[in-house]
C-alpha cells in the first residue's frame, strides 16, 4: 500500500473535459457514437462536482482532505502508480449512490467504485481528480432466507462476516478468497473473486442470483430476484459480476446459499519436483475427483510460510499440495484415500493427514497467509495465470524457467485444482530492476499461458494492471463487443474509465 507518483492513468489521459452546460445537460446523453469519449478530470469540473454533492447530499460522508484521499489512491497492487482522487464519498444508501453518479455524469467526472481495496489488479485504485465511491458504509446483511436458501446483502459486507452469519444458521456461502477476512462482497462481485474452494463450488458469479445496480446516469435497476431458475432476457447479473466497476455500481446482492458441509478433512502431500505435484493435480482431475481444496505451494513459499508460522513443513520438498474433503466422515476418508493414491502415482515423497479439523484449519490459514509470508521477504509482484488443468505441470516448469532466466526469486502458490497459479516475483525493496523485470517476466508468462489455452488472469481481473494485454488474449473482435457493451451502459465513460478496457488508441497486443 502507500502512495506513489500519479502517472499511470494520467499517461493515457486526454485532458478534454467540458464541464459545460452542467445543470441543464441530461445526466447521460444518449450516444450514437461508435466510440466513447475519453474522460479525464478537470479541476473546474471537479470543484463544481464537490459543490453540487455538498449541496444535494449534505449528510454524506465526503472526504476531501489530502491525507484521507491518499488512502484511496492504491489498492493492494503494489506496482501501479495510480492517481489521487479528488474526493472519496462514503454513501450509506442506494439513493446516495444514485445521486452521486447522476452528479458525476453531469459534471463528467470519472468515478471509481471501491470495496475494501484489497484488489490485485488496480481496479479500485484512484483516478487523478476522479471521485472514488467506497461502499464500506453499506455493510448490512439484510436477510438470510432459509426458505429460498439465499442471503440479501449490501456490498460492504465483509466476505468472512457473511460466511460466519450463515454458518451460525447451518448454511454455507461458498466464495472464499484468501483475503476473506478483509474483502467485501461488492468487491468479490466486482472481480468475480475465486478462492480456495472454487474447485468444488465455483467462483462468485456462480453464487450471484440477482443484483441491484446503479447505472452511470444514476438509474437504479434490479437484475433478478430469488428465483434459482430465471431466463427472462439477457443474463445481466452475470454480466455485471466481474465487470470491475466499469458498467455500474452494485448496491445490493442476492446470493445463493447451501446447507453447511461437514467439517473438512485435510491431507498434505510433498513432492520432489514441481512437475510431480502438477502431475498429481492433473491426475486427480482426470480421475474425476472433486476435493473442496486443491492448493499448491512451491519450495520458496513453503519456506516463507514455515519461517513465519513454524508448522514443521517439509522444506526439502519442491512442492506441497493441500488437499481437503468436506464430505461426511467416511466418504471424506475415501476421497482422501483416492488423493493419496493419485499423489503416490505422481511421485509424492511424504503424505500427512491433519489430526483433526482444528489442525486442518491451521494449515488452511497458513496457506491463506502465503502472500503475506512472501511480503515479509521484499516487494511482491503477484500474477494470476490460469491454464487448463492438464497443463498445470507444464506451466509450473515454464514459470521456473522464465524466472531463472531473469534471475528473479519466485514463490508460486495457488489454486492448482482450478489450474490457477500465482507466481509471485519477490524483489529486494530497493531493487532498481523490479519494474523492468516484472514487465518482461509477466509478458513471457502471459504468452506461455495463452499458448497452452490459458488465461492471463483467472480471478484477480484485468483492472489497470493487465489491460494492455486483454486483446492479446481475447482478440480484437471480442474486445470490440466489450467496448459496445460499455458504450451502451456508460456512454460518457464515467465508470472506472481505463480499467479492463484499455483506452482505444493505447490498445496493444502486449
Question: Around Cβ 168, how many Cβ atoms within 10 Å?
Answer: 10
- Region of 498 on the Ramachandran plot (φ > 0 left; ψ -120 to 50 alpha; else beta): left
Cell numbers 499440495: residue: 321
To ligand FAD, the closest distance from the beta carbon of 70 in angstroms equals: 16
Distance between CA atoms of residues 257 and 162, nearest Å: 11
Query: Residue 264 and residue 326: Cα distance in Å, rounded?
Result: 5
Closest approach, Cβ 50 to ligand FAD, in A, equals 21
Shortest Å distance, C-beta 301 to ligand FAD: 13
Nearest residue (CB) to ligand FAD, 17 versus 458: 458
In sequence order, the 6+-apart residues with CB closer than 8 A to the CB of 431 are 378, 379
Taking the least distance from each CB to ligand FAD, the nearer of 75 and 128 is: 75
Nearer to ligand FAD, 391 or 499 (CB): 499
Output the smallest distance, CB 252 to ligand FAD, in A. 9
How many whole angstroms separate alpha carbon 248 and alpha carbon 24? 23
Closest residue to ligand FAD in the complex (CB): 187
* 121 vs 285 by CB, closer to ligand FAD: 121
The gap from C-alpha 293 to its chain's centroid, in whole angstroms, comes to 19
Q: Where do contacts with ligand FAD occur on this chain (CB under 6 A)?
A: 75-76, 112-120, 123-124, 135, 155, 177-179, 183-184, 186-188, 190-191, 193-195, 244-245, 249-250, 371-372, 459-460, 463, 496
Contact yes or no for 299/315 (Cβ under 8 A): yes
Which C-beta is closer to ligand FAD: that of 247 or that of 276?
A: 247
Q: How far is the CB of 186 from ligand FAD (least distance, A)?
A: 3
CA separation for the pair 219, 419 (Å, rounded): 39
- Integer angstrom CA distances of residue 335 from 158, 326, 344, 352, 421: 32, 9, 14, 15, 24
CB nearer to ligand FAD: pick between 289 and 380: 380
**Pairing, β 111-114 against β 131-134:** parallel
Question: Closest approach of Cβ 356 to ligand FAD, in Å?
Answer: 25
Residue (113 or 393) nearer to ligand FAD, CB: 113
Phi, psi angle pair for 182, to nearest 5° = -115, -35
- By C-beta, is 320 or 373 nearer to ligand FAD? 373
Rounded to a whole number of angstroms, the minimum distance from the CB of residue 297 to ligand FAD is 13
Minimum Å gap between C-beta 414 and ligand FAD is 9
Measured from the CB of residue 371, what is the shortest distance to ligand FAD in angstroms? 4
Cβ atoms of 296 and 281 within 8 Å: the answer is yes
Which residues are 412's β-sheet partners?
A: 423
Q: Strand ranges (DSSP E) for 77-161? A: 87-90, 111-114, 131-134, 141-145, 150-153
Write the DSSP string, 198-234.
HHHH--GGGGEEEEEEE-TTS-EEE---S-SS--SSS
Residue 36 vs 188, nearer CB to ligand FAD: 188
Q: Least separation, in Å, of the C-beta of 274 and ligand FAD? A: 20
Q: Give whichever of 98 and 273 is closer to ligand FAD, judged by the CB atom.
A: 98
Question: Are 119 and 77 a contacting pair, CB within 8 Å?
Answer: yes
Residues 86 and 105 sit within 8 Å (Cβ to Cβ) = no
Closest separation in Å from C-beta 449 to ligand FAD: 17
Burial of 2 (0-12, 13-18, 19+ CB in 10 A): exposed
What is residue 485's DSSP assignment? H
- Which CB atom, from 48 or from 208, has the smaller least distance to ligand FAD? 208
Q: Identify the bridge partners of residue 334 per DSSP, sorted by sequence position.
A: none
Amino acid at each position: 500500500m502507500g502512495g506513489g507518483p500519479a502517472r499511470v492513468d494520467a499517461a493515457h489521459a486526454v485532458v478534454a473535459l467540458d464541464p459545460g452546460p452542467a445543470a441543464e445537460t441530461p445526466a447521460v446523453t444518449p450516444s450514437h457514437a461508435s466510440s466513447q469519449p475519453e474522460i479525464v478530470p478537470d479541476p473546474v469540473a471537479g470543484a463544481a462536482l464537490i459543490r453540487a454533492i455538498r449541496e444535494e447530499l449534505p449528510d454524506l460522508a465526503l472526504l476531501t482532505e489530502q491525507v484521507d484521499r491518499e488512502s484511496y489512491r492504491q489498492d493492494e497492487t503494489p506496482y501501479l502508480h495510480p492517481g489521487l482522487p479528488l474526493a472519496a464519498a462514503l454513501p450509506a444508501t442506494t439513493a446516495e449512490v444514485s445521486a452521486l453518479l447522476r452528479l458525476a455524469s453531469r459534471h463528467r467526472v470519472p468515478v471509481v467504485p471501491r470495496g475494501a481495496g484489497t484488489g490485485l489488479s488496480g481496479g479500485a485504485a484512484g483516478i487523478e481528480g476522479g471521485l472514488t465511491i467506497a461502499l464500506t458504509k453499506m455493510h448490512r446483511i439484510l436477510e438470510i432466507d432459509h426458505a429460498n436458501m439465499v442471503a440479501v446483502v449490501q456490498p460492504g459486507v465483509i466476505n468472512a462476516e457473511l460466511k460466519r452469519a450463515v454458518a451460525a444458521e447451518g448454511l454455507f456461502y461458498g466464495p472464499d478468497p484468501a483475503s476473506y477476512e478483509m474483502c467485501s462482497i461488492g468487491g468479490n462481485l466486482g472481480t468475480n473473486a475465486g478462492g480456495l474452494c472454487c474447485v468444488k463450488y465455483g467462483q462468485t458469479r456462480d453464487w450471484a442470483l440477482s443484483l441491484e445496480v446503479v447505472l452511470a446516469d444514476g438509474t437504479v435497476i434490479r437484475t433478478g430476484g430469488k428465483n434459482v431458475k430465471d431466463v427472462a432476457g439477457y443474463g445481466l447479473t452475470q454480466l455485471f459480476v466481474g465487470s470491475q466497476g466499469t458498467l455500474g455500481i452494485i448496491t445490493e446482492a442476492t446470493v445463493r446459499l447451501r446447507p453447511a458441509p461437514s467439517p473438512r478433512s485435510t491431507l498434505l502431500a510433498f513432492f520432489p519436483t514441481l512437475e510431480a505435484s502438477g502431475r498429481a493435480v492433473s491426475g486427480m482431475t482426470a480421475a474425476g475427483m472433486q476435493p473442496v481444496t486443491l492448493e499448491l505451494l512451491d519450495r520458496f513459499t513453503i519456506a516463507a510460510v514455515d519461517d513465519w508460522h513454524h508448522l514443521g513443513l517439509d522444506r526439502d520438498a519442491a512442492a506441497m499440495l493441500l488437499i481437503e474433503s468436506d464430505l461426511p466422515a467416511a466418504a471424506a476418508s475415501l476421497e482422501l484415500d483416492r488423493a493419496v493414491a493419485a499423489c503416490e502415482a505422481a511421485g509424492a515423497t511424504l503424505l500427512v493427514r491433519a489430526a483433526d479439523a482444528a489442525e486442518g484449519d491451521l494449515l488452511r490459514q497458513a496457506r491463506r497467509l502465503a502472500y503475506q509470508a512472501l511480503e515479509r521477504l521484499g516487494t511482491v509482484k503477484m500474477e494470476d495465470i490460469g491454464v487448463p488443468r492438464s497443463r498445470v505441470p507444464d506451466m509450473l516448469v515454464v514459470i521456473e524457467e522464465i524466472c531463472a532466466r531473469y534471475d528473479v526469486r519466485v514463490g508460486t502458490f495457488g489454486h492448482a485444482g482450478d489450474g490457477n497459479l500465482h507466481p509471485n516475483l519477490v524483489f529486494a525493496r530497493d531493487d532498481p530492476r523490479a519494474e523492468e523485470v516484472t514487465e518482461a517476466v509477466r509478458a513471457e508468462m502471459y504468452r506461455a499461458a495463452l499458448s497452452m489455452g490459458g488465461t492471463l488472469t483467472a480471478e484477480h481481473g484485468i483492472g489497470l494492471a493487465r489491460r494492455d494485454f486483454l486483446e492479446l488474449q481475447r482478440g480484437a473482435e471480442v474486445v470490440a463487443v466489450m467496448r459496445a457493451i460499455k458504450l451502451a451502459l456508460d456512454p460518457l465513460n464515467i465508470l472506472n474509465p481505463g480499467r479492463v478496457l484499455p483506452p482505444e488508441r493505447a490498445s496493444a497486443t502486449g
